[in-house]
Amino acid sequence: MLSNRIPRNRATKANEGLLLALSNARSADRNSRSEIVLLVDERDKLADVYDLIGLVIKADYSSYRVFVFDADRRGMNELKYSAPVPFSADGKVPSDQN
């Protein structure tokens, strides 16, 4: 993403520019169900993907898809996000109360 390829102060400016561009595109789009497709290099950090999703959400897009390029297979894999899963470092996960 932007933050791992350019210095931090320039990355912040680049992210601000990207947010402005996304916001302007969203404002000009009359379709309320527009979707953003993120194409991610497999070498990028997952934290950078989360940051980019945050920018997309801030720009008022509610729908997005994330695809990661797999160089070995020469294809794209879609990342799918689901509901959070309970986790505990000691292995004692609270049971579902429902």
If you average pLDDT over residues 10-21, what whole number do you get?
Answer: 72
Confirm whether 56 is domain-assigned. Answer: yes
Confirm whether 93 is domain-assigned. Answer: no
Confirm whether 87 is domain-assigned. Answer: no
**Domain around 73:** 8-79
Report pTM: 0.64
Confirm whether 36 is domain-assigned. Answer: yes
Give the pLDDT confidence of 78-93 residue by residue, as tens digits.
998 888 788 788 878 7
Taking the C-alpha atoms of residue 98 and residue 80, their distance in angstroms, rounded to an integer, is: 25
Check if the beta carbon of residue 4 is closer than 8 Å to that of residue 48. Answer: yes
Give the pLDDT confidence of 35-78 residue by residue, as tens digits.
888 899 988 888 888 888 888 888 888 788 999 998 888 899 99
Show Cβ contacts of residue 79 under 8 Å, excluding neighbours closer than 6 positions: 40, 49, 66, 67, 68
For residue 74, is it left (φ>0), alpha (ψ between -120 and 50) or beta?
left
Confirm whether 66 is domain-assigned. Answer: yes
The more confident residue out of 33 and 49 is: 49
State residue 68's pLDDT score: 93
Number of domains in the chain: 1
